[in-house]
Amino acid sequence: MKNAFRIIIVPYLLMFLCLALLSSCSGSSDSTAGAPHDTGSIAFSLMLSPDASAQQQRYKAPVLNCVELGIVSVEAEVYDDTETLIARGGPWECSLGEGLIPGVKRGKNRTVTVFLKNDSGIVRYRGEKSEVRVFARKTTDVGIIILVDAEEEDNRPPVDVEVPAASNCDDLEAVGLVCSVAQECSNTVPEGEVISQSPTAGTVVAYGSTVSLVISTGLCDVVVPAAESCADLEAVGLVCSVVQVCSNTVPEGEVISQSPTAGTVVPYGSTVQLVISTGLCPVLVPDVVDMAEADAITAINDAGLVPEVVYAVTGQSKGYVYSQSPEVGDEVLPGSTVVIRVSDNNPPVANAGTDLAAVLQGMYRLNGSRSFDVDGDPITFLWIVINEPSIGAAELEGDTSVRPFLTISEDGTYEIELVVNDGSVDSSPDTVTITTSENVRPVAHAGSDIPGAKNVEVCLDGSLSSDPNGDDITYLWTIVSKPYGSLTELNVNDVEDPCLTPDTPGEYIVQLIVNDGSLDSEPDTVVVGVGVNLPPVAYAGGDRNVAIDDNLDSVCLSGAGSYDPDGNELIFSWSMLSAPATSIAELDDAYVVDPCFIPDLSGDYVIQLIVSDGILYSEPSTVRITAAVLGDLNYDGSVDEKDYTIFMATLGKCEGDTGYNAEADYDGDRCITYEDYRIWYGFYSNQ
């Protein structure tokens, strides 16, 4: 067929054809029986033009040759003024040359489109009639619709449309489909993109059909779960962030807390932080060194740790911690064991006094008052003669007293041993040697420890060294220990007061040995400390004799002579080591510089002082207070013949002489004379 062909509708055949083919049609003004109240019908006729003759066009006679045209069927569609498909007609046989479209919704501006299809369903011809008005329950005859060849006008929408894979509404509307949009969140499809469509892509639908698109609004909100692990969060599309902390209540690996908390609504992909327990929190080991045992145990328990006590003899105060393991400040788990090493009962130390040489036969008084106990426990004394020229040559009176009397009746050498006991353990024995003729060894005294400074000269002092025989002594000093790398040496080593210049921080230990020409002394040492803490020095004061009477006056001690080489403040600790049997004397305050007590019985009272700088302790210092009834030289509570014997043994002796007894020097002239005897005899006569 050529493009010039035309089809002309013959309106005067409409009524005849409607009556013959469609009993419902009755002309443009007839009612449409059975139609809905708001719908009507549209009727049309077909005619070919321009090949129809003028007469045929005039009388609208049909001239359709469907066979020649290759047309099989005729179809029609009606659109409203919004271009929405509102009705369809057909298919009809082409040879009829007319059609009737029922069920068209009433209204103006309706457009009727007629198209002819071949046996393959392809549209060959199309025509259109616009601005048609449809009345309810009426048939409107629109007359002739002139169709054009479909090849000349290809923008006519097809009857059926294949739904595309739409990315937006434009893709659907471009093929004549109506787009319906619903929105929902998606955790996989970005915001604004299509999640799904219905019908799906590839489905064939009628032109103008509605296709629903579900468009992503972006990520969905998520309710945060109560997470036990990251897997619980990741399962709902959340990101897990982990912080690990210790906990004494939540087992290792379990969740302590989470943020945001469970039940919080957050966007998909949000981060939730889990705080995971690493197990028990470490505990800092407390510092319990120098604490009393009970206090240390309490401190360790309070820290959530378990104390384990190990006892050892250390030379430090009994019952105090001298070391610990783990060290202070170490981190351990709760319930860990802390071993504290507590100074056990320290044996007391016996001091039998100074050796005597070149003595005469007679009575001498031994002195154990320099014995001590670092724990401050009371001590008892036991003296034994372990060597004498012959059996019975030595007579010991008061072998359990602090200062017993020794009477020697033959020339020769006497050794007397002293052992003290603190109520639990004996001391090692100490001996004093008394000889009538033989030489005894001298005594070295290297002086007190000295704080020094780097590159500043320090001089030592051995002037308190002595020889019991009064012999001249020589000096030998030696540096026995010094800091690593130090080149310091003594300027001389054979004088009383050599000097050294420390070149490195640390301790310099210098030893002194003196010699009387025959015998060496026991060594003594002094420490020069540079940049180190030196132990303080205790001084309990000088020994004293006091009279005892019915008034029972207090005797006050003084530790004011104690000092710390580094200038640190001192802490005082006094102990009553020995008192006469059955005495109830006690110090009024053991932690002041000058405590007092009331001597209630005749005899020797030995009081010990230890001072501390808060870190180190001094060596003990003791003082002897001898309380007696005037004239009672053996402190047995009465003045009798025994005291006479003692007095006569010291008569004629002066201070410095062997056998001089200061307690019989009643006039204070440092010699025992007949004036002292007169005074003593007065005490004796008054008994």
DSSP string, 478-493: EEEE--TT----BS-S
Residue among 173, 175, 170, 146 nearest 158 (CA): 175
Contact (Cβ atoms closer than 8 angstroms) between residue 659 and residue 648: no
Return the pLDDT at 443: 92
Q: Which fold has domain 450-530?
A: Immunoglobulin-like (2.60.40)
Fill in the amino acid letter for 677. Y
Task: Report the C-alpha gap between 396 and 363 in whole angstroms.
Answer: 10
**pLDDT for residue 561:** 94
CATH topology of domain 11-149: Immunoglobulin-like (2.60.40)
CB–CB of 361/558 below 8 Å? Answer: no
Residue 597 pairs with which residues in a beta bridge? 555
Fold: same for 160-216 and 362-435: no
CATH number of the domain located at residue range(s) 221-277 in this protein: 3.30.10.20
CA atoms of 631 and 392, how far apart (whole Å): 29
What 3-state class would DSSP assign to 682?
helix
Instruction: Report how far residue 132's alpha carbon sits from residue 393's, in angstroms, rounded to the nearest whole number.
Output: 164
What count of other Cβ atoms lies within 10 Å of the Cβ of residue 344? 17
SS3 call for 604: strand
With a CB cutoff of 8 Å and minimum separation 6, the contacts of 560 are: 593, 594
Measure the CA–CA gap between 68 and 20, rounded to whole angstroms. 25
Q: Does domain 362-435 have CATH number 3.30.9.10?
A: no
Question: Which residues in the chain land under pLDDT 70?
Answer: 1-36, 47-64, 150-159, 549-552, 687
pLDDT at 140: 87
Peptide bond just before 483 cis, omega within 30 deg: no
What three-state secondary structure class fits 27? coil
Q: Rg (Cα) of the chain, in Å, rounded?
A: 65
- Looking at the domain 283-343, which fold is it? Trypsin Inhibitor V; Chain A (3.30.10)
The Cα 611–Cα 624 span in angstroms is 18
Domain ranges of the chain: 11-149, 160-216, 221-277, 283-343, 362-435, 450-530, 641-687
| Cα-based distances in Å from 628 to 89, 361, 639 | 150, 27, 10
What pLDDT was estimated at residue 15? 35
Q: Backbone phi, then psi, for 365, in 5-degree steps? A: -110, 120
Give the CATH number of domain 160-216. Answer: 3.30.10.20
Q: Angle at Cα 362 formed by Cα 360 and Cα 364, nearest 5°?
A: 100
